[in-house]
Amino acid sequence: MPMANNVNGFDVARIRADFPVLARQIRPGVPLVYLDSTATSQKPRAVIETMDEFYRKSNANIHRGIHTLAEEATAGYEGARRRVAQFINAPSARQVIFTRNTTESINLVAFTWGRANLNAGDIVILTEMEHHSNLVPWQMLAEERGLRLEFIPVREDGLLDMDAYRELLELEPCLVSFTHMSNVLGTINPAREMIALAHQAGALALVDGAQSVPHFPVDVQELDADFLAFSAHKMCGPSGIGVLYGRKELLEDMPPFLGGGDMIKRVYLRSFAPNEIPHKFEAGTPAIAEAVGLGAAIDYLESVGMQAIAQHEHEIVAYALERLEEIPGVRVFGPSAEHKGGVASFTLQGVHPHDISQILDSFGVAIRAGHHCAMPLHEKFGLPATARASFYLYNTREEIDRLVEAIYQVKEIFG
Amino acid sequence: MPMANNVNGFDVARIRADFPVLARQIRPGVPLVYLDSTATSQKPRAVIETMDEFYRKSNANIHRGIHTLAEEATAGYEGARRRVAQFINAPSARQVIFTRNTTESINLVAFTWGRANLNAGDIVILTEMEHHSNLVPWQMLAEERGLRLEFIPVREDGLLDMDAYRELLELEPCLVSFTHMSNVLGTINPAREMIALAHQAGALALVDGAQSVPHFPVDVQELDADFLAFSAHKMCGPSGIGVLYGRKELLEDMPPFLGGGDMIKRVYLRSFAPNEIPHKFEAGTPAIAEAVGLGAAIDYLESVGMQAIAQHEHEIVAYALERLEEIPGVRVFGPSAEHKGGVASFTLQGVHPHDISQILDSFGVAIRAGHHCAMPLHEKFGLPATARASFYLYNTREEIDRLVEAIYQVKEIFG
Amino acid sequence: MDDLYRELIIDRYKNPHHRGVLEPNDISFEDDNPLCGDHIRIDLRLDEAGRVSEASFDGHGCAISQASADLLVESVLGKTLDEVRLLSKEDILDMLGIELGPVRLKCALLSLKVLKAGAYGLGEASDDLVE
Amino acid sequence: MDDLYRELIIDRYKNPHHRGVLEPNDISFEDDNPLCGDHIRIDLRLDEAGRVSEASFDGHGCAISQASADLLVESVLGKTLDEVRLLSKEDILDMLGIELGPVRLKCALLSLKVLKAGAYGLGEASDDLVE
Ligand SMILES: Cc1ncc(COP(=O)(O)O)c(C=O)c1O
Ligand SMILES: Cc1ncc(COP(=O)(O)O)c(C=O)c1O
């Protein structure tokens, strides 16, 4: 793409113009600085308009209708599935299951593959940096089935302890389930290596891609992942839709998840025969307009280029770390820029992260404060909460400057 | 509302102008006649624009963020919950759980309340007219737990056999789960009476409100329902969001459904404490924009008036039955107009329903053909499929005339 | 009138050339389209050279599913099983001579799915066969 | 500057008047806000007439949760438990003198939730107490 305004040809100004919300002023004269994309991303006009158009022109229920609208809606929904498959390089669109979000995708694996395959004493390996979405489903299943959960430790520098991982693999676990990128530390885990090690030890590997798929190129075949979970809302797409990718043989062998319309082949009063994949796992009317919106989000991301997005975020986070570390009393968590994605979690001495966030908001700067759905990780670092600024393709160095200025204001108020 | 164009003051022309898709032409000169609202409804401009606006102005993740956008998004999402509670007259908004659709709502009850309370030999009563969504979850649970499923028979006239129901209640069932209105026959079941009988027999009652909540006033306290399930997409709202209402004591006692962010109070590496209702049942980032859209849909429906909508549909279906029954070879299923909502399922001798639908489509008339996710009911009537025309607030008598004309064309082609 | 209902389709639906069952047979398979209840059974007899010498279909469903089955069965006469296995979605669409959306496509492809599952000797038919 | 951070709040946060624990006590309850990890404990002592004679809070969290707790605890001195049970969301907001969105509201109401759970002698605190 021919672009200006940036040494690498990445035209942030042009990208920003695609996102209507970025023109918002939080108060008159105070423009929004949105630094909370790890929680959810903003949406480009193309995505909003595609869904709008769907409702104005082609809205219908799918799969079963024969009329024009139903055929168009079905083509839109199934076309989005193929688009997702291409994006993550899945061998077939039938390996792409639409769910509500990353959380439901992981629960689906726990409660179908897990219930069918895991029994008392079986071991599942997680990490200490997991989001609650990749902890609680396994805890529920562990309680039900008597599984044993083990955790790869997080080192002081924010990286996983790979030696400890190798040792845990000697326990012969059935599954290793880990986040591709930490939503708190920003750590990008060596997924390909971790999966290869899991496979050597006879375990399957589930990758929580909630923070990776939106931010850098992810190829399920290159990773050799058995399952990959992610959410549309974090990748310029709408709320209400997520994805589970799975290896075909696994999906075919798994029992169904929820029961109802569309996931069946045949229904009698007292029994049913499940449908083929992917439909077997999609009960009831799915998030149709949302799938179409996700397809548009992928088109948008690819028009910019995932590699270019990753590169841009890398520059922004490196600059953010440099600026934040200058501020007396600020402590930044996680590894150095080379090992991380666009996330900077920090604390400011003497000020609770909630108060940081609240005061920053009065300067238009939107960051997040709390445990970021990673309580065990915060406990490990001895903190109830952190403040987190996170970045995406539309963020600029000037926004980092605004963040830093506002933090100085916080210090003054609490000084 | 002061209205013209109609004896009852129901201004269909004005309503139609609110729905952009109704202006669509299927082919040049062939306007859309949308008679498939039972599968999914069309969306008024107010709903489409509300979601559009949400994404352009206030999009953020909810509950945990402190910045302005997050506060606005949370207020929008929780405001929609209160709006739903008012609409169905729930005692508290905390009894309203957002799900993906009716199907997920019913699965939620089966797999939380059901797993916690039902054991081998326990009886669940369903009806022969249930949608697969209210059959398959119970079949799955029955298989897992050794439950016994019993079915209230459907009589030839399309009504439930209430004597048989009374007899089944003597078996001391734990739950009666039934559809408020059949999506095939249009039968409106006497829910209040059925629930009272269930309660007398010591059973709880779940109402599948997928076809009732969109079409006539439903008051959970007046019905005395223990659970009520419905979908936004069938009531002028977006895809991707549904509702489960439950009695408070029941919801509070039920174990969680899916595990992950937001449904927890506290998480440790190996255990968690669940959050309060309704959050306990909403794991991960929910369908935020969709909830806001559902709120707008309810505003829209109430601005027209649920009683007025019910009355209008009643007139349309009565006219449709009259006109369809005139056509030689057409057989209409279900009860007479007084017992039914806006659904007319029929067959045409010698022509498969798929072919009827396909040819009707070429005249712009969108109906549905198939088993309508009610295979056992079709089996009972000895039919693999039916054709179904269904009606909503925006349909007119002229559209019924167009349907009838097109059916005569089908007869000619296959003649 | 809609060209979907080309005369060929209505004609083959009303007066199929190859409706029936073959008993005994060398290959027999049946399946249905869960979305609409259409059902197709296909029976084949092979000659000594392994070529299809007789073929028939039976079942019920819409004009498109039944006409496709009739045309498909006709087209395999004289073919070896290897040739049958090579038949694709495009062959069916060429025979019908029409365009189909994703839902109706399932009607048109049901007979191909049944035929190929039979030709491969599979226990169960899969959508993979006709993709 | 944001009026949310009125001097009163910053001041009470930095220099609380009633921080501490009372041992022994007549009523003691603690809970936290799962959304952010804020934690509040409130201890009360009652006089012979059943009025609050001493009150304190302890815990950690943001300025709003801690300042609200300090102000709330101060306001219950001299009240009967019945009077304490009548305290509402509005009383807290009046004391703070600010407007709060739904998320920050939880911070402000945590101490009220803890206090009322204690006053009612409940085993667990519930959002119902502050609605
Ligand atoms: C009576 C009834 N129940 C349940 C459903 C399922 O609704 P959904 O697909 O939105 O889950 C439907 C929709 O067709 C229905 O008509
Ligand atoms: C690493 C990680 N996993 C899982 C999730 C959960 O995503 P969702 O809420 O969309 O299910 C998140 C989102 O915060 C995340 O960052």
B353-410 pLDDT, tens digit per residue, is: 999 999 999 999 999 999 999 999 999 999 889 999 999 999 999 999 999 999 999 9
Per-residue pLDDT tens digits for C19-36: 999 999 999 999 988 767
Contact B308, B394 (CB under 8 A): no
Active site residue A174: no
pLDDT band, residue D4 (cuts 50/70/90)? low
Whether B373 lines ligand 1, by a CB cut-off of 6 Å, is yes
What pLDDT is recorded for position A298?
A: 98
| CB crowding A319-346: b at 16 or more within 10 Å, else e | bbbebbeebeebebbbbebebbbbbbbb
Residues A299 and A352 in one domain: no
Q: Name the minimum distance, in Å, from the CA of A72 to any CA of chain C.
A: 8
Report for A281-290, C113-122, D95-104: range of highest mean pLDDT:
A281-290
Judgement on whether residues A148 and A162 belong to the same structural domain of the protein: yes
**C102 falls in which pLDDT band (50, 70, 90)?**
confident
| From B59, B62, B263, B285, mutation site for ligand 2 pocket: most ligand atoms within 8 A of C-beta | B285
Of A156-160, A370-374, B232-236, D96-100, the one with minimum mean pLDDT is D96-100
Domain span at C64: 2-130
What average pLDDT score do residues B181-194 get?
98
Q: How many domains does chain A have?
A: 2
CA distances from C8 to A8, B207, C69 (A): 60, 48, 13
Residues B112, B17, single domain; the answer is no
Query: Do A82 and A169 have their domain in common?
Result: yes
Question: What's the CATH number where A333 sits?
Answer: 3.90.1150.10
Asked if B191 contacts B127 with a C-beta cutoff of 8 angstroms, the reply is no
Q: Which residue, B303, B338, B368, sits at the end of a domain? A: B303
Among C98, C76, C100, CA closest to C8: C98
Find residue B158's DSSP bridge partners. Answer: none
Domain membership of residue A6 (yes or no) is no
Arithmetic mean of pLDDT over chain A: 96
Does residue A337 share a domain with residue A253?
A: no
* pLDDT beyond 50 at A219: yes
What is the mean predicted confidence (pLDDT) over A326-354?
A: 96
Asked whether residue A4 carries a pLDDT value surpassing 70, the answer given is: no
**How many whole angstroms separate alpha carbon A294 and alpha carbon A292?**
5
Question: Which ligand is in closest contact with the Cα of B286?
Answer: 2
Residue A56 counted as domain residue: yes
For residue A297, how far is its CA from the centre of ligand 1 (angstroms)?
29
Last residue of a domain, one of A255, A281, A303: A303
Stretch B46-63: mean pLDDT: 96
Let me know whether B170 and B261 are in one domain.
yes
- Residue D1, pLDDT > 50, answer no
H or E element at residue A344: strand A343-348
- Among the residue ranges A236-245, B157-166, B224-233, D32-41, the one predicted with the least confidence is D32-41
Q: Is the CB of B105 under 6 A from ligand 1?
A: no
Residue A76's domain comprises: 49-303
- For residue A280, is it within any domain? yes
Q: Write down which chains contact chain B via at least 3 CB pairs under 8 A.
A: A, C, D
How far is it, in rounded angstroms, from Cα A296 to Cα A55? 14
**Mean pLDDT of all residues in chain B?**
96
* D50: its two tokens: 């059943």
Supply the pLDDT for residue C6.
78
Report yes or no on B4 lying in a domain: no
Out of A369, A384, A413, whose CB is closest to D1?
A413
What is the C-alpha separation between A282 and A61, in angstroms, rounded?
14
Pocket perturbation via mutation, ligand 1, pick of A61, A263, A285 by most ligand atoms within 8 A of CB: A285
Q: Of B279, B303, B327, which one is at a domain's C-terminal end?
A: B303
Give me the pLDDT at residue A63, please.
Answer: 80
Task: Chain B: give the shortest CA distance to residue D34, in Å.
Answer: 5
Give the distance from residue D116's alpha carbon to the nearest chain A alpha carbon, in angstroms.
24
Average of per-residue pLDDT values in chain C: 90
Residues of B with Cβ-Cβ distance to C35 under 8 angstroms? 370
Q: Is C4 on the interface with B (CB under 8 A)?
A: yes
Q: Indicate which residues of B carry an active-site annotation.
A: 373
DSSP character for B337?
A: G
Residue B291 lies in a domain: yes
pLDDT digits (tens, 9 = 90+) for D24-58: 999 999 998 876 778 999 999 999 999 999 999 99
Q: Where are the extended beta strands (E) located within chain C?
A: 27-33, 38-46, 52-60
CB-based pocket (< 6 A), ligand 2: A 101-103, 131, 133-134, 179, 183, 208, 210-211, 231, 242, 373; B 261, 284-285
The answer to whether residues B162 and B119 belong to one domain is yes
3-state secondary structure A214-266: CCCCCCHHHHCCCEEEEEHHHCCCCCCCEEEEECHHHHHHCCCCCCCCCCEEE
Are chains D and C touching, using the cut-off of 8 Å on CB pairs and a minimum of 3 such pairs? no
Residues A160 and A270 in one domain: yes
CATH classification of the domain holding A85? 3.40.640.10
Residues of D in contact with A355 (CB under 8 A): 5, 62-64
Residue B204 tokens read as 């709880």
**Contact predicate A19/A42, CB 8 Å:** yes
**Span B28-34, average pLDDT:** 97
Nearest partner of A231 among A281, A179, A284, judged by Cα: A179
pLDDT at A183 over 90: yes
How many domains are contained in chain C? 1
The CATH code of the domain that includes D44 is 3.90.1010.10
Task: Determine, yes or no, domain membership for A186.
Answer: yes
My answer on whether B310 and B297 are in the same domain is no
Encoded tokens for C94? 């060429």
Query: Which of B97, B65, B283, B243 minimizes the C-alpha distance to A103?
Result: B283
Please report whether residue A184 resides in a domain.
yes
Residue A212, both tokens? 């990776």
Query: What digits encode the pLDDT tens for the residues A104-161?
Result: 999 999 999 999 999 999 999 999 999 999 999 999 999 999 999 999 999 999 999 9
D window 23-42, beta carbon within 8 A of B: 32, 34-36
pLDDT at res. B2: 38
The answer to ipTM > 0.95 is: no
Give yes or no: residues B322 and B219 share one domain. Answer: no
Residue A1 is predicted with a pLDDT of: 36
- In which band, very low, low, confident or very high, does the pLDDT at C3 lie, cut at 50, 70 and 90? low
